[in-house]
Chain A
């Protein structure tokens, strides 16, 4: 895992394993990573589209989540503006995202603001993560917190993690794990609070944790306790979201990823895929011509040791066959090589992106030369163009 994660973690939260003592408890992978992994697994399981990380700090969790294909909107909120400012660019699309765009759109936004304030841009989320957040609230803030997150934002799922003070007995010092912690709850305290909140806002809650206790001390529970809240669906719930609310948060950073949902990127990808497939078929056709000349000596040109996805060789067509085969097989007239769009769309990735031949034709219009009735891609047979 990245070095910076380890480092930023040591800023973000009190990593217990570093407390010098005869009995040092080490988690492997480190506890903060286990927490992030937990959220990532939730995402993999439930495939949310809109995910927010409240108290995103150094954006480490967002950095992990941005690779998740299902997510279309990712939001981070934090009170520390400076930190968001100089971490924001870590979330920008990388060069590879332009070359090989995502399937779905992804917009990442970082807001500066307090989790205790309501901002309508945080409505309608599928998952809201509050990782090691609530223990930084004083009692007044803690009281406001459920109203904002559960009551106002009211996402489909909320995950809240906080230190388990039962576990603290295994640590040498009797203080909180972080000097900014206002409290550290036992399992009982947390569950009482959580159940209370869940009941009040019609959520179900499941308790779990990360950071397994060492052998012999199982009764203290996990080092970090986690509550996963899920909204109890109401049949009458209005699908209309109040988006006309206030914008209190300040946008510090926002970025939009290239994706196949965007016409220009989609067209580009389709064009390249088509060229690649056509060139592949053309080359195979040329090989088959050459083999024809060399027969019967020609040995198998396939590669026995390596498996690459490949199509069956293109047969050499006679004039008579042509009409029949034309529907789906590449063919050759003069020095032009034709590949029917039907054939191209059979290639799974293209089929997936385009759906049907009409759409494919639309994509290729003005970019790739088609034959007169627009049913096949036309290229020069002998133009190497392929280094």
Chain B
């Protein structure tokens, strides 16, 4: 763990001491090296459930793929931000990369945490750099509204979590997940205990987001610059998923009855947010709502608490993280050229950017869960486990899959096909950097087809 954490902390001196000519090269190279070192975590040598570095930082089959995803994403974020940050003075550029690096540090410590309270503190700490990125570097005036919604929805959800964790500490004497996984399932009957159950989960459900409390997500994904959108979609939503899987271990007997409202909200949310996607005029907003739809599937898979559910949830989280981030990068390429997120403005792009049309194609096919990509494998496992939970869910999840295919194809056809309008002809061609960015997003997704055991959680 330290072999990744210390280089990440040393990223701060790298940022502030590099000469301006070499800043972006050095930070990209440094973060790429961290990403390559983090791949060593994938070699699983521990006999126990956890590969423990010390008492407070450990990796297990749930957090390992998420940690590798987080470390992989930092060089991609820095690559993607080069163009739009370029006009700004050098110290502001350094500040921007510092925010990304600090976000990375908090995320590594959050995913690697063994104490629930450390997870909670890091969970909250990631809010601050993200808030600064959204409200300071966003492009429209709505960014203030977006930052407010983002901050206060998440805080309102996580304050009950703090209280619940303190109560747990009071009753069991420890919050270390290494110990809590062996605690006895407690019979909890009273209303207070039910509220405690809800308090444990609501923070993560707001973060994921669940359908009823998802309102912060379209705003918070649309307003920030590309790096903010990438990290939000790819990693921060998965913090909620990871937290939920961790908490589920301790919440067992009550969850059978109390999970119903949330499972139903998640399932209905798949259909509702999918349908909203079909009505969107704004490109990034469509990708944001599709994130809600996929994460609702993940939430449903986690809440039914079966091994297949957890496995499907982890696979879908990783695959969705990479693909959603890729889509935001593609949307950013269109935004940098037309300075507008309107879909009908940047249409017919296939005629002018044929290679980019390939990336759009692959990213949209991944989004609609084409076999044999891991998106489908995760969705299929979750749909199967929900079918086992109750056969009637297949109506909702099946319709949801259909609508997902519908809006993904709509996105592809709207942006790529059709006659190219005359104002598109003069757009500047694609940089190698942008193609590299897309390859680095999509090749891991394709490679994960060959070795999905890396993502299977505890089922290997």
**Do A and B originate from a single complex?**
no
B residues contacting A by CB (< 8 A) are none
Interface residue ranges, A against B (CB under 8 Å):
none
